[in-house]
Amino acid sequence: MSLTGKITMGVLKIIKPGKGSFSDLEKLKKKARKENEGFSFAFPKNRKAAYSLLPGTPRECMIIDPVTRNNQDKCILYIYGGVTNNWKTQCSMAVDFAVRTGTEVWYPVYPAMSEVPVSVTIDYLIDIYRRMTERYDPSKIVITGVSMGGMFALEIINAINRKYQSIPMPGLIIAHSPGGWPVDEKDWEQFRRYEKNDPMFSEGDIRMTLKMVPGDMSLSEPYLFPELGDFRNAPPSYLFYGDEMIAGNAPLYERAFIKCGEAGKLHIKITENMMHAYSSMPVFPESRASYNEIVRLIQISGVKE
């Protein structure tokens, strides 16, 4: 492990950002409402890209066009994480991703998970993706997401199979620490095995987050439980985890892909001594290595063999 990686993890384990802070549901809901109501959109100031809004959408979807665009025929749908309108904190990451890959990025401000049933969010993201397919060859479209955004990236595949069969599949999925919850209580053990090393989340935090989501939380809700996902005809899908609590979802996604006959499409990487969503932030050697691997995957995606 690199020195900067050790320092970063050491600091996180001392300050434990967020860990154990999800104990009061009503307090969490109140905080989420405040964050959602305080939302206001503004373009970034980074001059390495140009910015515009996709017209005709009920919520903002920003198009990030890097000044140096090497991939004219490709496009990336970038889905940020969190359960509130958390777009500002990850906007700079989306811009950096566009600049480093030389690819146009669409960055939708989707309905927050703490605000609407998750199916509403999925429907909005599907509509954004559908509009992308009208401009780009679907095989040249990459869908990537961070944390809950990673879950949404994968659930777009699930939604296409369940409701939107006329929409073609994208060419590539990249998910940074994609979230989700287990169906069977015994599968929580897979989450607990990582809890000691995770400086950011506890089992209680993950359980409480599910309670923040409005709507039907039974197993009839197909977009929250990886094992229930319909991943038939999935594109190559790459999941990057640290050895973190959320990595308990990895075997659940694997189980679902196997059930759908798509085991060969799923590629999971769990990196020891790394934190949640480390691969989305190229700030030390381990994260840069995974980030560079992702850039390479985007470069070669959509190439006909």
| Look-up of token digits 């987050």 | 209
Q: 3-state DSSP call for residue 7?
A: helix
Domains of the chain, by residue range, sit at 3-39+48-300
CA angle 236, 132, 222 (to 5 degrees): 60
Contact 253, 226 (CB under 8 A): yes
Q: How is 140-206 classified by DSSP, letter by letter?
A: GEEEEEETHHHHHHHHHHHHHHHT-TTSPP-SEEEEES-----SSGGGHHHHHHHHTT-SS--HHHH
pLDDT at residue 16 tops 90 = no
Question: 61-71, pLDDT tens digit by residue?
Answer: 999 999 999 88
Which of 80, 233, 50, 196 has its CA nearest to residue 144?
A: 80
pLDDT at residue 113 tops 80 = yes
Rounded CA-CA distance 192/170 in Å is 33
Does CATH place domain 3-39+48-300 in 3.40.50.1820?
Answer: yes
Cα separations in angstroms, 219 against 124, 192, 213: 22, 22, 14
Q: Which pLDDT band, with edges at 50, 70 and 90, does 197 fall under?
A: confident
pLDDT at residue 136 tops 80 = yes
- Looking at residue 2, its pLDDT comes to 78
Rounded CA-CA distance 5/10 in Å is 8
- Percentages helix, strand, coil for the chain (3-state, rounded to 5) are 45, 15, 40
Contact 271, 241 (CB under 8 A): yes
| Count, residues in the chain | 305
Contact 298, 142 (CB under 8 A): yes
Rounded CA-CA distance 59/109 in Å is 6
With a pLDDT cut of 90, the percent of the chain lying above it is 69
Question: 211-225, pLDDT tens digit by residue?
Answer: 888 876 666 678 999
pTM: 0.92
Higher pLDDT, 221 or 293: 293
